[in-house]
Amino acid sequence: MIHTAAQGVITGIMMGAIYALIALGLSIVFGVMNVTNFAHGDFVMLSMYLSYMVGSVLLWDAVATPLITVPILFVFGLIVYYLLIDRTLRQMYVVQLAITVGLQILMRSAALIVWKAQPRALEYSFIQGNIDIFGFSILTSRLFAAVVSLIFIGLFAYFFNKTWAGMAMRAASDDLDVASLVGVNYRRTYALTFAIGSAMTAVSGGLLMSFQQTDPTGGIRFGLLSWCVLALAGLGSLPGLIVAGIIVGIVEALTVSFFDPRSRLLAIYMIFILVLWLRPRGLFGRR
């Protein structure tokens, strides 16, 4: 019993760090631009498919594929921003919502056409394996993915707090009009924000492809999961995002270990509902 619980916590912590990275892109875009990107999960799905393409064509390991997919997703993010998002910023909120939901449907349909309704997976990653420590099983792929996720969240925190572009993003997030008065070009800042959020999904996509498969409907899962982590964390706290990801990961792992595997999503959404009900700004939210 205790062993099973401890094993669940170990697995949950590792998966939670990855969930935090998946939710990071959504958090940046929502936090800085106040844009609710309902297509975020489909950006992860697209990243995973691109990772699959790069991995299978160039015979690269999944974890190396972000070297190519990150620039692609960065440019894709810029294109989506200038073509769609930028035009909705001064519109009614519902227009923005409709655009991102439309983008979600478009991306899913495009994936169905291009990759068909077949799950795609890369055969094997060098990071796959299993270490036994004191009877606990630690999956090396999850461990590697968790460490890389934390490194990327740390790098983003440095960028966000210490660089001019990061400070511009924070300024735009706090007060767009004042930021504009001190020389922040909000369109460029927003474009950069959206592109970085998009590129982050490429990192998580590569890591996920080292131990999972992708399919055209995968975006729904990652989208809802990201919203749940973000709701739990609240806006404006990167450590909060990591803690929220880990809480979701642990709850998920323990639910599967002790209850029916089918109740995994139920447990996650119970957290989502409880947080929205009891603490709408999240556990660590600034606003």
Partner 1 sequence: MRHNLNKLLFVLVITAMILTACGPTQASIVQKPKLPSEIVVGVVQPLTGTFAVFGNEGKLGAEMAINDINEAGGIKSMGGLKLKIAVEDAGENADSAKLATESMISKNRPVAILGLYISRFVMAASEVTDREKVILLADALVPQITQMGRQYLFRPGPTASDHGKMAYKFVRDVAKENNVEIKSLAILNEDSANGRANSLGATESALIDKFPIVTTLEYPYDITDATQIVQKLKAVNPDVIIHTPYFNDAIVFGKAFKEIGWYPKFLAGAGACGYVDPQSIAALGDAAEGISMTFSYNPAKKTPQNQKFVDAYVKAKGYIPTEGAGMNYYDAMVLYEALEYSGKNFPDDPLNPDNLRKSFMALDLKSGPAVETYPGNEIKFNALGDNQFPGVVVLQVQNGKPLTVYPADQAEAKPIFPNPHYKAQ
Q: Which residues contribute to the site for partner 1 (CB under 8 A)?
A: 4, 7-8, 11, 15, 112, 116-124, 128-130, 137, 139, 141-142, 211-213, 215-218, 221, 253, 256-257, 260-262, 264-265
d(CA 24, CA 198): 10
Shortest distance, position 72 Cβ to partner 1, whole Å: 22
Q: Quick one: 158 or 258, whose CB is closer to partner 1?
A: 258
Angle, helix 264-278 to helix 238-258, in steps of 10 degrees: 140
| Min CB(148)–partner 1 separation in Å | 17
Which of 33, 21, 30, 40 lies closest to 235, judged by CA?
30
Task: Specify the residue for token string 């490194």.
Answer: 151
Q: Which is nearer to partner 1, 36 or 263 (CB)?
A: 263
In whole angstroms, how close is the CB of 149 to partner 1 at the nearest point? 15
Q: How far is the CB of 24 from partner 1 (least distance, A)?
A: 19
234 dihedral zone (left: phi>0; alpha: psi -120 to 50; beta): left
Residue 130: φ, ψ to 5°: -150, 125
Rounded (to 5) percent helix, strand, coil in the chain: 75, 5, 20
Amino acid (one-letter) located at 285: G
- Residue 78 vs 265, nearer CB to partner 1: 265
- Closest to partner 1 by CB, 60 or 186: 60
Between 11 and 193, whose beta carbon lies closer to partner 1?
A: 11
Residue bearing tokens 């400070």:
167
Least Å from the CB of residue 33 to partner 1: 28
